[in-house]
Amino acid sequence: MANNKATYRNKTLLIVDDEPSMRSTLSEILVNEGYRVHCAGSGEEALDLCRTVLPQIVLMDVRMPGIDGVETFRRIRRHQEGVGVILMSAYSTESLKEVALEEGAIAFLPKPLDLQKVVALVEEATETTILVVSEEPDSIQSVRDQLEQRGYRLTVVPSAHQALEVVEQIRFDLIFLDTQLSSMNGLELYLAIKKITPTSVAIMITGMEEEFEQVARAAVKRNAYTMVQKPLDIDHVLALLKRLTSQHASDCLHKPPLDDTSI
């Protein structure tokens, strides 16, 4: 009988682990979820396979004979831009985790694995849901188009009222909030949204005017993740999204310094 999930899965995965039982277990689960799965028993084999099967996501053990998982991850990313790498280890340290996440890993998961979390993480790796609240939707159209081309799902609403209505019905992973709103102060809207959906991450959008920047900074002090300035820079936004995805998946959320524009 054909796997009915295969009709809507469109990702090729590579599992890299020197333990055959781990490879077979993960492979069976993810094949049953409808993914195309390849396996490698070493870093060297993984590098060879990446050149031929071009996986979108790699799940890789850190400690392996020969090239370890972290170095293999670095070499994969050097030659295949855009591939998502999830590292796994029974011996992870916080310092190694932070280095891997800063270098662009999607997540650093401890063994024994929470298999439900692995499946959910693979499914959501390029399917982050984003809400943008802005009374100037035309100004973010270019960024919206480029994010949607990369698999992000965006909803744009032009008012605070609509934003509150939407978050009552739909959970968003990330919310961009323009501080310049006519019906409600950007900080007030942020606090209202956090009451409804406390797990959503918020990024404040501000213009150059000092009053709006102060509102954005006040929101960050109240636990918004950071702020970005108009006009939105797609490279900066993508870097933030990559950073947030990896930190959130690894339970390692660190807010960047407010004045750090090189994230």
Among 68, 100, 124, the domain-final residue is 124
Q: Which of 165, 196, 162 is closest to 178 using CA atoms?
A: 162
If asked whether residues 146 and 236 sit together in one domain, one would say yes
pLDDT value for 92: 63
In whole angstroms, what is the distance from residue 186 CA to residue 65 CA?
A: 52
Q: Let me know the angle formed at the C-alpha of 175 by 173 and 181, rounded to the nearest 5 degrees.
A: 165
Within a domain: residue 17?
yes
Are residues 102 and 24 part of one domain? yes
Q: Are residues 180 and 157 in the same domain?
A: yes
**Residue 261 pLDDT level (bands cut at 50, 70, 90):** very low
List 202's β-bridge partners, or say none: 175
Q: Do 105 and 245 touch, CB atoms closer than 8 A?
A: no
**Is 187 within the bounds of a domain?**
yes
Is the domain of 170 the same as that of 223? yes
Cα distance between residue 31 and residue 27, in whole Å: 6
Asked if residue 156 belongs to a domain, the reply is yes
Is residue 261 one of the residues assigned to a domain?
A: no
* Domain carrying residue 243: 129-249
Contact call for residues 71 and 85 (beta carbons, < 8 A): no
Same domain (yes/no): 27, 138: no
CATH number of the CATH domain containing 48: 3.40.50.2300
The length of the chain is 263
Q: Is the pLDDT of residue 34 over 60?
A: yes
Residue 256 lies in a domain: no
Q: Are residues 112 and 170 in the same domain?
A: no
**Proportion of the chain above pLDDT 70, given as a percent:** 89
Residue that is last in its domain, among 71, 104, 124: 124
Structural domain contains residue 216: yes
CA atoms within a 13 Å half-sphere pointing along the CA-CB vector of 208: 1
> Given this model, what pLDDT does residue 57 score?
92
On whether both 18 and 116 belong to a single domain, the answer is: yes
Query: Rounded CA gap, 129 and 107, in Å?
Result: 18
Same domain, 200 and 163: yes
Q: Classify residue 255: in a domain, yes or no.
A: no
Q: Does 113 lie in the same domain as 28? A: yes
Q: What is the mean pLDDT of residues 149-178?
A: 87
The DSSP code for 26 is H
Query: To which residue do tokens 């959008």 refer?
Result: 205
Verdict on whether the full-model pTM lies above 0.75: no
Domain end marker among 104, 124, 144 = 124
Which residue is it, tokens 């800063």?
Answer: 102
Q: Are 36 and 13 in contact (CB under 8 A)?
A: yes
Query: What is the Cβ-side half-sphere exposure of residue 217, based on CA atoms within 13 angstroms?
Result: 11
Half-sphere exposure of 130 (CA within 13 A, CB side): 25
CA 36, CA 87: separation in Å to the nearest integer?
19
Same domain, 111 and 65: yes
Residues 112 and 219 in one domain: no
Indicate the number of domains in the chain.
Answer: 2
Query: Residue 30: which pLDDT band, with cuts at 50, 70 and 90?
Result: very high
C-beta of residue 34 within 8 angstroms of C-beta of residue 8:
yes
Q: How do residues 9-24 score in pLDDT, each as one tens digit?
A: 568 999 999 999 999 9
Q: Are residues 143 and 243 part of one domain?
A: yes
Give domain status of residue 191, yes or no.
yes
